[in-house]
Chains A and B, each alone.
Chain A
Amino acid sequence: MTRPGDPTEQEWVDDHAGPVVRPYAVTGGRARPVTGTFDLISLVTATRNEVGSESGLGPEHVAIVGLCQRIQSVAEIAAHLDLPVGTVRVLLGDLAARSLVQVREPRATPAGLPDEHVFEAVINGLRAL
């Protein structure tokens, strides 16, 4: 018999294992962030150079603070940590609630397309590439 936690205990053998179970374990089973909505292109930056062993923070939280020393989008954080976007949103909510990250939501465009000067800036930026 193998004991729980024994590395030889391999019950999860199909593709339900890694990508499904682990993300919810990372968030303690939570599916929604405590605060914020976090669009795929919301930009995130850490407010501190590092975080110590603050209560309630896991290694993934610490990894996000490390990544966000440079500005990253939610999509980039998810890609670099190899976690689903939904999981990253929950973790970011925890960090935002502790003011450990600052978040810039994308330009709100309820009426449709953004200002002309945004288009012009992007066109000029692309030409200059």
Chain B
Amino acid sequence: MDYGRSERPAGAAPLPTAIKILIAGGFGVGKTTMVGAVSETRPLRTEEVLTETGIGIDDLSGVEEKSTTTVAMDFGRITISDDLVLYLFGTPGQDRFWFVWDELALGALGAVVLADTRRLADCFPSIDYFEGRGTPFVVAVNCFEGARTFRLDEVQAALDLDPGVPVVLCDARQRESAKEVLITLLEHAMKLREARRRAAGD
């Protein structure tokens, strides 16, 4: 294909566009497992090293030397087509890394909030974050063995979710299950997008 700049390797195709979806939730809820279940490669890990000034609200009182913090994010990749690549990012778990979330959430198609019914409160911060930001999200209840099963409307009520927010059951280890969660999210995001477009047009 004759495209792009002359110094590019012969036969190179135009660069695809990348998009991303976030996988959020509490520590140990299965974020990286879900990324790995649908990714075409094993999950990769990337790190941001943040210096004292970048940490902002972090409490460093009593720390005399210049400090740094490393925030790790696991992610995976799904090649959708020749011109579209989807990345899935597991969000860093600690609340004090919200500013990293801001970078991750910018331009994201949406987010999956993974929930464990044994520790439901662990996903509250993620839900608050995406609600506040207006990022489309779904809640996926990861069905751990040994966990009591709840009805989805019970989970919806316990999380005090907007009735429009989908709540689904999943097994984060299973590719088909993880795919279904992502498709539910994308369909929900499309509906939200259409509703916002109509509201803006009024």
A interface size (C-beta, 8 A): 47
Q: Are A113 and B109 in contact (CB under 8 A)?
A: yes
B167-195 interface code vs A (CB 8 A; 1 in, 0 out): 00000000100010011001101101110
Give min CB distance, B57 to chain A, whole Å. 20
Name the residue among B15, B20, B175 with the largest chain A CB count within 10 angstroms.
B15
- Supposing A41-B20, A104-B18, A122-B186 touch, asked if A129 and B38 sit within 8 A by C-beta, the answer is yes
Q: Which residues in A have their C-beta under 8 angstroms from that of B47?
A: 19, 78, 84-85
Q: Does residue A55 face the partner (Cβ distance < 8 Å to B)?
A: no
Q: Does residue A57 face the partner (Cβ distance < 8 Å to B)?
A: no
- Supposing A84-B70, A114-B109 touch, asked if A119 and B186 sit within 8 A by C-beta, the answer is yes
User: What size tier do the contact residues of chain B reach?
Assistant: 35 or more
Q: Are B87 and A102 in contact (CB under 8 A)?
A: no
Q: Which residues in B have their C-beta under 8 angstroms from that of A76?
A: 44, 46, 77
B1-36 interface code vs A (CB 8 A; 1 in, 0 out): 000110111001001111110000000000000000
Q: Does residue B107 face the partner (Cβ distance < 8 Å to A)?
A: yes
Q: Does residue B147 face the partner (Cβ distance < 8 Å to A)?
A: no
Q: Does residue B60 face the partner (Cβ distance < 8 Å to A)?
A: no
Which residue of B46, B68, B85, B109 contacts A79 across the interface (Cβ within 8 Å)? B46
Residues 98-129 of A contacting B (Cβ, < 8 Å): 99, 102, 104, 106-109, 112-114, 116, 118-123, 125-127, 129
Give min CB distance, B193 to chain A, whole Å. 4
Q: Which residues in A have their C-beta under 8 angstroms from that of B75?
A: 75, 79
Give min CB distance, A38 to chain B, whole Å. 11
Identify the A interface with B (CB < 8 A). Answer: 16, 19-20, 23, 39-43, 45-49, 69, 71, 73, 75-76, 78-80, 84-87, 99, 102, 104, 106-109, 112-114, 116, 118-123, 125-127, 129
Q: A45-B15, A113-B193, A122-B19 are in contact. List 16 more A-B contacts (CB 8 A).
A: A16-B68, A19-B68, A42-B18, A43-B17, A43-B18, A45-B8, A47-B8, A73-B77, A73-B85, A73-B87, A75-B46, A84-B49, A85-B47, A118-B84, A123-B187, A126-B80
